[in-house]
Structure 1
Amino acid sequence: MLRRVLTVWRRSIQARVVVTTVLLSALAVSAVGWLLLQQVRDGLLQHRVDAVLAESATEVADARDRLSAASSVDVDASGQQRDLVEPIIQRGATRGFDVVMAGPINRDGENPGGRIADGGAEFSPGLDTASVPVRLEDHFARRDGTAWTYTTIRSTDGDTVTSVPGIVVGSQVELPADGLTYVLYFLYPLNEEQETLGLVTRALLAAGALLLLLVAGVTWLVTRQVVTPIRLARQVAERLAAGQLQERLRVHGEDDLARLAISFNQMASNLQRQIRQLEELSRVQRRFTSDVSHELRTPLTTVRMAGDVLHDARGRFDPAASRAAELLQTELDRFERLLVDLLEISRFDAGAAVLETDDVNLVDVVHRVVDAAQPLARKRGVEVAVRAPDRPCLAEADVRRVERILRNLVANAIDHAAAPPTPGVPAIVVSVDADDQAAAVAVRDYGVGLAPGESAMVFNRFWRADPARDRSSGGTGLGLAISLEDTHLHGGWLQAWGRPGGGAQFRLTLPRRVGGPLHHSPLPLVPTDAGERVS
C-alpha cells in the first residue's frame, strides 16, 4: 500500500499539487482558527471578568453597608461574621457563585494569620476551600483593596467531586465587633464561557474541514484542466516514440494549451516527414550498397580472371609491367574484401544479420587467430604474444563472427605496432580472461595510439587514426565498424583506449550467455603498464 502511494506521489503532478495545496491551506486555516479562538477566548474572559468584578463590588458594598448599620455594642465577632456571610452565601447559591470569608488578618506580627487552612472560615456548602489560591491569600496578607485571579473551583456533592475553571475575587471588610479585617472571596465558575468556547471551536473545526474539502475539490478540478492535456500529450508522445507517427493531439479552444497542442502536432508532422525521408534515404542507401556490391561481383570476377592470367605471366614481362601486374593483384584482393565487407554492412543495416551460437572457448579462438596472423606479423617484424589462463574461457557466441572481430583487432594492431618501451616485451599482447558473467579479450599494441576523443571515432566507417600510415593488412576501413556490429549482435562491448605515442588497447567483452546481463569486464580497459588510474 505504501509503495503504491509513493508511486502515485512520484508520477502524478495532480496528486502532488492537490496534497500540497491542502497542506498549505490546512496550515493557513489552523493559524487563522487559532487566532480567532484566542480572540474569542480573550473576549469571553474579559467580559466575564468585568461582570464578576462589578457583581463582587456590589456584594462588598452591600456587606459594608450592613456592617455600618450594625450595633456598635455587639461584641460577638463570630455571630456578626455569620450574619454577614450567610445572606451572601444564599444569594450566591441562587446566582451561581460561591463565597468564602476568612480572617481575621493581623499585619503586626510575623504571622499575619487569616489563612483559610487555619480554620474558622465561613464558606458555601460543598465548596473545597483549597479553590482559593494561596498566592491570593498572600496578597491580602500584605496589601489592601480588591484583587482577582483565575483558579479551579472544586466542590463536593455527596461522593461526586467536580472541578471547573473559575475566577476568584477577594475584598476586605472590617467587623465592628472586634475591629479586625476579614477577607471575602467570591468564586465564579466559567462553565458558560467554556461551553461557548467549545461550541466556537467545534464550529471552526467543521468550517475548516469543509473549507479544506472545498479547496481540495477546486484544486483537483483546476489542475485536472491543466494536467489532462499534458497526460494526453505524454500518451501521444509515447505512441510516437513507439513508431506510430500518425498520432496527433486533439485541439479544443484557443487558449494556451490549445496552442501548445497545435505546436505539438506541427512538431510531430515535421518529425514524421523527416523520419520518413531518413528512412527512405537509408533504404535507398542500403539498396544501393547491396546492388552495387552484387553488380560488381560479375565484372570483378572477369577482372580477377584477367588479373590472375597477367599475374601468372608476370615473369615474361619487363620489370615495370611485372610490378603493375603485382599491384593489380594486390588491389583486386583488397577490392574483393571491400565488396564482402560492404555486403556484410548492408546486412547489418537491413537487420538481416543473425547469430549461429555455440559454446566457444575464446582461448582456442585467440590462438587460431594469432597463428593465422603470424606471417603478417613476421613480415612487419613484430612479435604477437598470447596471455591466457590454463582453464577454458567459455562464452555462448557465433564463432565465425568472434573470429572476424579478433582478426580485425589483431590486424589493426599489426598495422599500428611499434617497438614497446620495455625491452623484451612483445609488441602486441593478446589477453584472455573470464568470470561467472562475462568473457573478454584485450589486444594491446605500442603504436601511434589514439588522441583524446578518438576512442569513440575509431569504430566509424572508413575512419583512420593515422591517414598517412600504409595498411600492411590491406584493410578496407570497415573492419572495426563490422566488429562493433558483431559485438552488439552478441549483446557485448567493444571498447578502445589509447594515448598518443603510448599505444592502444581494444577490449572485447561478451556475456557468458547471449542476452545475459553484462555489468563488468574481466579485463581492464586501461592497460596496467599505461601508468593511469583504472576506474
Structure 2
Amino acid sequence: MPAVRRVLTFWRRALTFWRRSIQARVVASTVVLSAVVVSGVGWLSLQQIQQGLLDHRVDVVLGEVDAEVGEAADRLAAASGTEVNSGRQQRDLVDPIIERGASRGYSVVLAGPEGEDVPLAAGGGEYTSGLDLASIPSTLEDHFDAPNRPTAWTYTEIRFRDSASTRATAGVVVGSQVVLPSDGKTYTLYFLFPLTEEDETLGLVTRALATAGALLLVLVAGVTWLVTRQVVTPIRMARRVAERLAAGRLQERLEVAGEDDIARLAYSFNQMATNLQRQIRQLEELSWVQRRFVSDVSHELRTPLTTVRMASEVLHDARDRFDPAAARSAELLQEELDRFEALLVDLLEISRFDAGAAALATEDVDLVALVNRVVAAARPLADQRGVRVLVEHVDAEARAEVDVRRIERIARNLVTNAIDHALADDPTETVIVRLASDTDAVAITVRDHGIGLAPGEAAMVFNRFWRSDPARTRTSGGTGLGLAIAQEDAHLHGGWLQAWGRPGQGAQFRLTVPRRAGATLRNSPLPLIPEDAVSSDAALGATTAAVSATQELPS
C-alpha cells in the first residue's frame, strides 16, 4: 500500500506539473512531433538505402553469373570433341564453379536435365556441400521447366545444414541454363548469393540513423527548452509580481531589460501597476475621508439630536391638548426621530467596523434560547403582517462562544427582514427559523416564501443601503445597513452569512458560526438551499449565491 500511495502521489504531482508548466508542454509537444518527423524520414531513408543496396547487389550478381555461365559454355564447347561421358562432363562443369563460389562466398547447384522431372529436394544434381536444396524457391524451378529459358532471379532464404545446427540467411538466387555436348541435354545452374554484407551495411546505417535521430531529438528538446525559457521566464516573473500586487505589495515592479516585446510588455505592466497603485491610494484616501466624515457627522449629530428628541418628547407627551393635525405631526416627529437615531446608531457601528475598532465580548451561551427570545420579540410585527413564525431545532440546546449582542442583532435582522418580505395577509405564509449544530459549528437559517431574490441579488443584499425595490413601502422601517452590519458581525466571529433566493419562491439566509471562538469553519450543519427548492433546482437551475468571510464555501 505505501508503494501504491507513492506511485499515486508521483502521478498526481506529475499531472499537476504538466497542467501548470507551459514550458513542459511545449517541449514535450515539440519532441513528440520531431520524433514523428524523424521516424518518418528515417524509415523512408532506410527503405531507399535498402532498395539501393539490393539493386546494386542484384546487378553485380547478374554480371558475375553471366561471366560464369559464359566461361562454362566456352569450356564445354572446347571439350565437346573429346568428352563423351555426361557424368564426367557435369562434374567438370560444376566443380570449378563450386570451388570459385566457396572462395567468393556463393553456392552453386546444377540441376537437370530438363524433362526428367527430378525435383531438387530429392537430391538430384551436383551442388555445394552442406547446402539445403529447399533454398531454391519452387517458383524459380518452375520457370526452368523447359529448355531455352532466359536467365531469372529472385530473393530467397539460403539454408545450410550440418550435423549440429541449421544456418539461414537472406540471399539472391539466379538461374541460367547450359547444354552439355555429351548428351545434348539442357541443365540449369543455380547461383545462390548471400546478402550478409548488405544486411550488415543496412544494420550499420540503421544504428547510425537511430543514433542521429536520438541526438537530434535531444538537441531539439534542449533548443526548445532554451527558447521557451526565454519567453516563459518573464511570464513567470510577471505572475509572481502580479501575485504580490494582489497581496497588497503595490510597490512591486518588473525588471525591464532590452527593447524587445517582452521588455515592452514589462514596461506596460509597470505602468499599469503604477496607475493602479495611484488609483488605489486615491480610493483609500477617499474611503478614509468618507469614513471619517461618517464618523464625525454621526458623533456631531448626537448632540443636536438629543436636544431635538427632548423637545419632541415634550410635544409628544402634550399631543392630547393639540388639535388633530398638530397631534399627528407630533407623532410623526417622534417616529422619524426614532428612525433617525437608529440610522445614526448603524452609521456609528459601520464606522467602528471600517476603523477596525469592533471587538467581540464572547461568552458561552445557548443559541436556542437566543433564537426563541428574538422570535418572541418579533411576534407582534408578525401578527401585524399576518405571518406565522415557526422555530425548528434538532437539539434541546446549541451552545457556542459568541458575542450575544451581535448574534442577537443578526438573528433579529434576519427574522424582521423575512417578516417584512413575506406575503402579507396570506394565511399559509410562514417564516421558518431552523437551528442545528454539530461538533464544530452552529447554524441558523431563516426561510420566507415572499418575493424572493432576482439572479445576482443574493450577492448584493449585503451591500450598504441596497434594496431590491427602493420604491417598496416598508412597514418595519429600516436603514438599509442591517444586513451589512450583520455580515460584519458574522465575519467578526469567523463565521459565514450567506443568502439564497429565487423570484416568487422566497429566500433563505444562513448564519454559521464556530462553536469555539477563533476556530476555523469547514462546513455548515444546515444547507444553504432549502429542501423544498432542491428538487426544482435540477430542472430549472438554481439562482444561488453565497457571501463568505474568507473563501467560497460549500452549500
Same fold, TM-score > 0.5, yes or no: yes
Report the residue type matching 2:138 in the other structure: V
Q: Is the 8 A contact 1:441 1:523 kept in 2?
A: no
Q: Secondary structure at the match of 2:277?
A: helix
Correspondences of 1:195-214 after superposition (within 5 Å): 195-214=200-219
> Do the aligned partners of residues 449 and 26 (structure 1) sit closer, same or farther apart at CA in structure 2, a change above 3 Å counting?
closer
Q: 1:352 to 1:149 in 2, by over 3 A?
A: farther
Partner of 1:223: 228
The change in CA–CA distance for 1:120 and 1:252 in structure 2 (over 3 A counts) is same
Other-structure match for 2:545: none
Question: Does the Cα contact within 8 Å between 2:365 and 2:400 map onto a contact in 1?
Answer: yes
* Deviation for aligned residue 1:355: 4.2
Amino acid at match of 2:54: L
Partner of 1:123: 127
Q: Name the structure 1 match of 2:3.
A: none
Counterpart in the other structure of 1:483: 486
Residue 100 (structure 1) aligned to one of 99, 109, 118: 109
Say if 2:140 is the partner of 1:136.
yes
Secondary structure of 2:189's aligned partner = strand
Which one of 95, 112, 115 corresponds to residue 86 of structure 1? 95
- Identity over aligned pairs, percent: 64
State the distance in 2 between where 1:349 and 1:168 align: 100
Q: CA deviation at 1:378?
A: 3.3
| 1:180 partner amino acid | K
* Paired position in structure 1 for 2:4: none
CA-CA distance at 1:26 after TM superposition: 1.9
1:113 aligns with 2:122: no
Distance 2:187 2:453 in 1: 109
**CA separation in 1, counterparts of 2:277 and 2:533?**
49
Amino acid at match of 2:510: L
Q: Does the CA contact (< 8 Å) of 1:505 and 1:526 recur in 2?
A: no
Deviations 1:502-524 (A, max 9, x none): 6x323214155542113784363
Q: CA deviation at 1:394?
A: 5.4
Aligned residue number for residue 109 of structure 1: none
Q: Which is further off, 59-68 or 93-102?
A: 59-68
Partner Cα separation in structure 2 for residue 469 and residue 8 of structure 1? 55
1:353 is displaced (CA, Å) by 3.4
> What SS is found at the alignment partner of 2:69?
helix
Distance 1:38 1:451 in 2: 71
CA 1:43/1:329 → structure 2, altered by over 3 Å: closer, same or farther?
Answer: same
**Aligned partners of 2:454 and 2:228: how far apart in 1?**
53
Deviation of 1:220 after TM superposition, in Å, equals 2.1
Specify which of 36, 41, 53 is matched with residue 27 of structure 1. Answer: 36
Paired residue type of 1:48:
R
Post-superposition offset of 1:56:
0.7
Alpha-carbon distance between aligned partners in 1 of 2:536 and 2:18, rounded to the nearest angstrom: 49
How far apart are the structure 2 equivalents of 1:357 and 1:101? 114
Counterpart amino acid of residue 91 in structure 2: R
Q: CA deviation at 1:50?
A: 0.5
1:251-300: per-residue Cα shift (whole Å, max 9, x none)? 12211111111111110110000111111111111122222222222332
| Displacement of 1:140 | 2.0
Amino acid at match of 2:345: V
Alignment equivalent of 2:333, drawn from 316, 328, 332: 328
Q: Distance in 2 between matches of 1:339 and 1:519?
A: 34
User: Contact (CA 8 Å) 1:509, 1:521: kept in 2 or not?
Assistant: no
Task: Compare 307-316 and 390-399 and name the one that shifted more.
Answer: 390-399
In 2, Cα distance between equivalents of 1:5 and 1:336: 62
Alpha-carbon separation, structure 1, partners of 2:246 and 2:98: 90
1:18 matched to 2:23: no
In the superposition, relative to structure 1, how do residues 22 and 121 fare at CA in structure 2: closer, same or farther (>3 Å)?
same
Tell whether 2:66 aligns with 1:54.
no
Cα deviation for residue 356 of structure 1 reads 4.5
The separation in 2 between residues aligned to 1:511 and 1:177, in whole angstroms, is 120
**In the TM superposition, what are the counterparts of 1:308-387 in structure 2 within 5 Å?**
308-357=313-362, 361-387=366-392
Q: Structure 1 CA distance, aligned partners of 2:11 and 2:529?
A: 43
Equivalent of residue 516 in structure 1, options 481, 501, 521: 521
Q: 1:230 to 1:426 in 2, by over 3 A?
A: closer
User: 2:131 corresponds to which letter in structure 1?
Assistant: L
Q: CA 1:47–1:369 in 2, change beyond 3 Å: closer, same or farther?
A: same
Q: Pick closer, same or farther for the CA change 1:417–1:166 going to 2, 3 Å.
A: closer
Within 1, Cα distance between the matches of 2:416 and 2:524?
28
In structure 2, give the amino acid aligned to 1:200.
Answer: V
Cα drift, residue 194 of structure 1: 1.8
Look up the equivalent residue of 1:30 and give its one-letter code: S
Give yes or no for the alignment of 1:239 onto 2:248. no
> Which residues in structure 2 correspond to 1:123-522 (within 5 Å)?
123-141=127-145, 144-156=149-161, 159=164, 161-357=166-362, 361-389=366-394, 391-393=396-398, 397-419=402-424, 423=427, 425-434=428-437, 439-489=442-492, 490-500=494-504, 504-510=506-512, 513=515, 514-518=519-523, 521-522=526-527
Deviation per CA, 1:199-257: give whole Å up to 9, x if none. Answer: 22222222222322222222222222222221221121111111111111121221111
Task: Read off the aligned partner of 2:18 and give its amino acid letter.
Answer: W
SS of the residue corresponding to residue 141 of structure 1 reads coil
Q: What CA distance in whole angstroms lies between the structure 2 residues aligned with 1:340 and 1:65?
A: 132
TM-score (norm 1): 0.88
Distance 1:300 1:159 in 2: 122
Change (3 A) 1:12 1:476: same
Preserved contact between residue 500 and residue 529 of structure 2 (Cα < 8 Å): no
SS at match of 1:105: coil
* CA displacement 1:314-340 (0-9 Å, x = unmatched): 344444443333222222222221111
* Preserved CA contact (<8 Å) 2:368 2:435: yes
CA distances 1:104-128 after superposition (whole Å, capped 9, x unpaired): 221xxxxx62311212321112323
Tell me the matched-pair count: 526
Structure 2 contact 362–401 (Cα < 8 Å) conserved:
yes
Q: C-alpha displacement at 1:361, in angstroms?
A: 4.3
Unaligned 5+ runs, structure 1: 107-111
Q: What is the letter of the counterpart of residue 507 of structure 1?
A: F
CA RMSD after TM alignment: 3.0
The verdict on how the C-alpha distance between 1:445 and 1:3 changes in structure 2, with shifts beyond 3 A counting, is closer
The residue identity in structure 1 corresponding to 2:224 is T
Q: Which amino acid aligns with 1:269?
A: T
Q: Distance in 1 between matches of 2:146 and 2:363?
A: 108
| Conservation of the 8 A alpha-carbon contact between 2:30 and 2:221 | yes
Q: Name whichever of 316-325 and 183-192 sits farther off.
A: 316-325
